[in-house]
Structures are given as structure tokens and as C-alpha cells.
Structure 1
Amino acid sequence: MRKLASIQRIWKIEPIEGADKIELAYVLGWQCVVNKGQFKPMDLAVYFEIDSFLPIIPEFDFLRSSSYRKTDVMGEGYRLKTMRFRGQISQGLLLPVTCFAIINDKQNLGDDVTELLGVKKWEIEERATTGGTTIGTLPYDIPHTNETRVQAEPGLIEEFSGLEYYISTKMDGSSHSIGIDENGFHVTGHNYEYKDDGKSSFYELVKSLNIQEDMQNYVEENKLSTLTIQGEFCGPGIQQNRLKLVRPEWYVFTIRENGKRVGLMRMQMICENLHLQMVPIEEVGYDLPSKYASVEDLLARADGEYPKGGKKEGIVIRPTEPVYSELISGSLSMKVVSNKYLLKND
């Protein structure tokens, strides 16, 4: 589970040219703008990641003018997003541990204090064009598709040492999945399963492509108990259609057979067999750290544009064959979201 708020150590402080009252503090793979003199290197602090939604409590009142949000789904609170101060990017919020009386002196480096401080993940309400009538939460074999950002776990870079890897384009849309198990055929969004009642644009796309029949044939031919295909649904009316598409498209990024993620070559083979398009593969290489040794290297690699000119959201990096990672307690994978994209679109 993502640590939206955690106890972390500040490993470097740097001045900001021309700034008298603020400076840069570095924590994990992130940089934050903080008040000058508020921290020194090696201090422990509470770090709140971008996309956190902070509760209305006195400790966060200073955020009201810049970050207050109220929606029917999220309620009231303060949304953290990437910001720029004096030309420097600030990603998240750092506050002294002493700001929070509820945090006791037994907290250790890395401790997750998300629930303790009432922090939630900011959720953007899905457009009506991507949804439909929900009939329940995700089936057991269709997991949430959240990827770990490299800034949150910089150690993931080293886990690619000696491995063949691939880099795919992070498509800017809405996560949607389809699956077959003993309970039948499932079509889902990021959080819920949809009903086939003509109200889900994604379900209609699935039917128009005859995916259910093709998947069922594939399952029977390969004697599978479950098959899950996950991808990004993009097009007009979805996330401002930054890919500038003229019709809905679905880009596959993960396939699971009998609950296990398949490698790159098998995913390409399955997509070809089922007439599905994959996310674009930008690069295949060996020993990622020898080419991209730092978070900064990967952030530079993530910049770019989609074919029709919109700012690219970023990239996703995985081994060509699945490898387990203890850092994230699952298959090794990480995303790198472009800072240029965040500043333009967040």
C-alpha cells in the first residue's frame, strides 16, 4: 500500500538562487521547497507525497489559500500536487515531526503515518464517458493498477541491475480491465466492475472488438483458469484527451494468466492473437542502472510528447520477465511521471 505520509530522513539541503526565505530539501527521490532554516541534513520529518489529500486540521491551515478542494466524492481537504517556486519544482510537503502531537517518539524511519494523520489519496472523478453502472468492486483476479513512482522508492533502480528491461509509454487515460474466471466475464474501471447495460463506453468498445469471444477461445485453448488483461482507456472526453485521439482506444500494459503476470514477449504474442494493441514500447535494454543511474536520469528520460503533440505523461519500466521485488512486495515495476507534464497538467 502506498505510503502517502511517512517518517523520512532529509538527506540534503540546497539553496535556491535569489531566494531569501526558502530552500530545497531532498527526501527519498523527491525534492521539496521548505522554509529556510526549517530543517538540516539528516533530520527526520513527516513527508506527504503528491496526490495526498490532507484533512482539515489546524496543522494544515497554512495550505488553505493554495490547496483547498471540496468535491462530492472526496469532501473537504487540501490536495498536494507538483508546484513551482522560484523556478524550482516542489513535490510534496515536509513538516517537522514535532508539528503533530499524535505522532509519538517511538516512530521510526520509514513508518507509515497515513491513517494516523487521516490522509487519503486524491481521486479524480471518472468522466461519465469512461464509466457506467457499477455492480461491485474489482473481481479477485483484477488488481488495482497503481504503479510505484521511482521517487518514492529510489532503490528500485538498483533492483534492475543485471536484468533485461523494457520501457513503455505511460498513456494518459483511465485504467480499465477485462477478465475471465470461474464466475464469468468481467469489465472494470479502476475501482469497480461495470454492468453491460449500454452505459459504459469501455464495455461498448470491448463488445465492438469481439474481445470476450476471443478471450474465451484463448482460455479454452490454453487450459487457463483465469485470464486478466489491463490497459489504459484513452480518447475524447477522457482526461482531456491529451493524446488527441479522434476515437476511443485501449492500450494493454499488463496480462495475467492464472494470476501471474506474463513477460513482454508473451504479452506481445497474446495481444497479437487477440487483436489488441499494446502500450508503445520505447526501449528494450540490459542493466538499467548502467544507463540511468539516478532518479534525475529517469526524469529526463520520461520527458517527451505523444505522436500528435500532447505532453507525454511519462514512462513505465519493467523487466522483460517478471521478477519479485521485496521493496514493493510484488512484481518489479516502476513509473516515472514527467515533471514537465505535471507542471502543465496537474
Structure 2
Amino acid sequence: MSSRKLVSVQEITNIEPIEGADRIEVARVLGWRVVVGKDMGLKPGDRVAYFETDSLLPAYDPRYKSFQARGQKTMMVGAKEITGHVLRTMKLRGVYSQGLIMRLDELGFRYTPAVGTDITDKTNVLKYEEPLPMGGAQIGRFDAPCSKSDAPRLQTLTDYWDEIKTLKATPTVKVDGTSTTLSMDERGHVHVYSRNWELDPMSANMRLAKRFQLDKMLWPGMAVQFELCGPGIQSNRLKLPAQRPFIFAVWKNHRKIDRDQWPTGMPNLAVPQLDEHEWALTGAWTT
């Protein structure tokens, strides 16, 4: 349940028209809205292949030839260079389209897999990762003792909603900033990471973490993840007078720990918590 399926078999739950559009309409899959062509002849109940955003459709695969003219990006997979089109959220006729839907027969399937089946490998799709820039603050790839902050989207977990409701959850305010991870290795050395890269120890992310003494709150095998917010970051939507961290996760030996186990000082820098009763995981999932 924790891994992200880039391409999976899903069922269309609804088809909606787009005002003023003759050739396109909106198909609902899981909790997402995806613009599709009317000529696909889709209807509620149809099983389709749903591609999440950030999926790279490789140019070498003829099934994705028509997408390549929309733009291409290149990334390294091991020692191999892969070029292809990367799916992003788009706005068409005033409607946001989140991902891609293709018919299973377009992809060569002669049978219809069960809903939820992960077909990422069969479609040759990869998760696009930004290439390591030359120079700058990046010195390596993310290898902190914790998961990256790109957790599965809740909309892709609707089949597990009844199970999710039984889990312990801490509702928090969504803050928009720069995702940063700080960790201490077994030798006591502190490392700092962006969402995908290890950063230079002299980077602005590290300097801010040290200003709030986060490095002194860690011990070997621990990592803390936070959003850097404030002036100059994401339009400073919280209208903060200065940059500061908002901690949303703390890890010890690759396991996330509860807030009541966080080191002294970290709870004071935590993402604001919401009322647990008002935001309880209850009720039925609706789209």
C-alpha cells in the first residue's frame, strides 16, 4: 500500500462533458479527473490503464509515439540514457487533467486485468527524476534513512479507504514550501537533502536547519523532514516574516516515529495540527 503505482488498471466511475468542447470530455478515475477524447468511446464501468503524473513515456516504445511531439525529457537509468514524454497536470478548456488514460487494447493487452493491477513494468513506464545539475548545491542523490516525501496520493488509495480509516493519523495543515530532509549517519555526520538530491553542507537549507539547531536534535540513524517556508519560497503563502522550518515527519532507523517520541525542541517546530475530531478519517469515500 505504500508504493506508488505509476500505471495501473482502474475503472472509470463517471464521464462528464466539458462546456463548449465537441471532441473531449472528462473521465473520473479514482479521485482524479482526466481529459479524454470522445472518440475513445469510454463509459462508466470500463477498465482502462491509468498513468499517474510524473510518468515518463519512453520514446523507444512505439505505443507512445504520438506523445513525443508534446515535449521530451531525458534521464539516466543506470548507465543508460532514456528519452520520453513526461506527464504533467494540464489545463484544457479550463479543466485540469491529472494523468493519462489509455485503453488496454492500445497497450497490447488481450485480456482485462483486475482493477488495481500494477502494470507499470508491462508498459515500460518510468518515474521521471530531474537530472543531477552540474555545479550548484547538489552533490549526490537522495539516500537518507527514510522515504522521500512523495507519498502515494490519497486519491490512488480509494480501494483501501476502509483500512485507512482504522489507522492512527495526525491531521495537519498543508504548508507549501521547499521539502528538506536532515539526517545523521552512524558516524555522527549530518547530511541535508532536497526532495531528490543530497545538498552541499554549506547550502541555504543546511544553514537554516542549523539556525534552528535541528542538527543538534538528531542522533545517529535519525532523520527529520520539514518544509522550508517564508519569504522567497512558494510566494510565501503563509505570509511569514522570515524563513522557518515546519517539521512533518521524524524517522529513527528507517521507521517513522510518533510526535510524542520526537526529540525535545522538534514539536515546537511542527506543522500546525488540526482538530482530530473535525478531521477524523470517517465516512464513505466520495468522488
Q: Distance in 2 between matches of 1:96 and 1:276?
A: 50
Distance 1:260 1:130, change over 3 A: farther
Summarize the Cα distance change of 1:262–1:3 in structure 2 as closer, same or farther, 3 Å threshold.
same
**How much does 1:51 deviate?**
2.3
Alpha-carbon separation, structure 1, partners of 2:13 and 2:73: 35
The answer to whether structure 1 residue 289 and structure 2 residue 282 are counterparts is yes
Q: Does 1:249 align with 2:244?
A: yes
Q: Distance in 2 between matches of 1:266 and 1:114?
A: 37
Look up the match of 1:170: 174
Aligned equivalent of 1:121: 127
Aligned residue among 74, 79, 85 for 2:92: 85
Output the CA distance in 2 between the equivalents of 1:83 and 1:164: 34
1:15 aligned partner, one-letter code:
P
Q: Is the contact made by 1:173 and 1:238 (CA closer than 8 Å) also made in structure 2? A: yes
Q: Which residue of 1 aligns with 2:143?
A: 138
The percentage of counterpart residues that share the same residue type is 32
In structure 1, what residue type is equivalent to 2:223?
A: T
- Aligned partner letter, 2:154: V
Q: Residues 275 and 90 from structure 1, CA distance in 2 versus in 1: closer, same or farther, beyond 3 angstroms?
A: closer
For 1:203, give the aligned amino acid.
M
Please point out which of 1, 25, 28 is paired with 1:26: 28
Q: TM-score, normalised by structure 1?
A: 0.66
Secondary structure of 2:21's aligned partner: coil
- Closer/same/farther in 2, CA of residues 241 and 212 from structure 1, 3 Å limit: same
- Cα gap change, 1:31/1:231 in structure 2, threshold over 3 Å: closer, same or farther? same
Instruction: Report the CA distance shift for 1:277/1:254 in structure 2 as closer, same or farther (over 3 A).
Output: same
Following superposition, the deviation at residue 68 of structure 1 comes to: 1.1
**SS of 2:156 mapped into structure 1:** coil
Q: From the superposition, tell whether residues 162 and 93 of structure 1 become closer, same or farther in structure 2 (CA, over 3 Å).
A: closer
- What letter matches 1:263 in structure 2? D
SS in 1 for 2:163: helix
For this pair of structures, how many residues does the alignment match? 277
- Quote the RMSD (CA, aligned, Å): 3.5
Aligned pair in 2 of structure 1 residues 61, 43: CA closer, same or farther (>3 Å)?
A: same
Could you tell me which residue of structure 1 aligns to residue 5 of structure 2? 3
Supply the distance in 2 between the matched residues of 1:251 and 1:158 (Cα, whole angstroms): 30
Gaps of 5+ in 1: 217-224, 297-346
Could you tell me which runs of 5 or more consecutive residues in structure 2 were left unpaired when the two chains were aligned: none
Q: State whether residues 10 and 45 of structure 1, in contact with CA within 8 Å, keep that contact through their aligned partners in structure 2.
A: yes
Cα distance between partner residues in 2 of 1:36 and 1:51 = 24
CA distance in 2, matches of 1:10, 1:252: 37
**Which letter does structure 1 place at the counterpart of 2:116?**
G
CA distance in 1, matches of 2:237, 2:132: 15
| Partner secondary structure for residue 60 of structure 1 | helix
- The answer as to 2:153 corresponding to 1:149 is yes
Change (3 A) 1:244 1:114: farther
Distance (Å, rounded) in 2 between the aligned partners of 1:273 and 1:34: 50
Cα shift readout 1:163-216 (whole Å, capped 9, x = no counterpart): 6643223332332222235332332313344453x2x22222233333333334
Alignment match, 1:260: 255
Give the C-alpha shift of residue 19 in structure 1. 3.2
Q: What is the letter of the counterpart of residue 88 of structure 1? A: V
Give the distance between the partners of 2:48 and 2:161, measured in 1 at CA: 24
Deviation at 1:41, TM superposition (A): 2.6
Q: 1:117-169: per-residue Cα shift (whole Å, max 9, x none)?
A: 232223456899994433x6414x22222221111112344334366643223
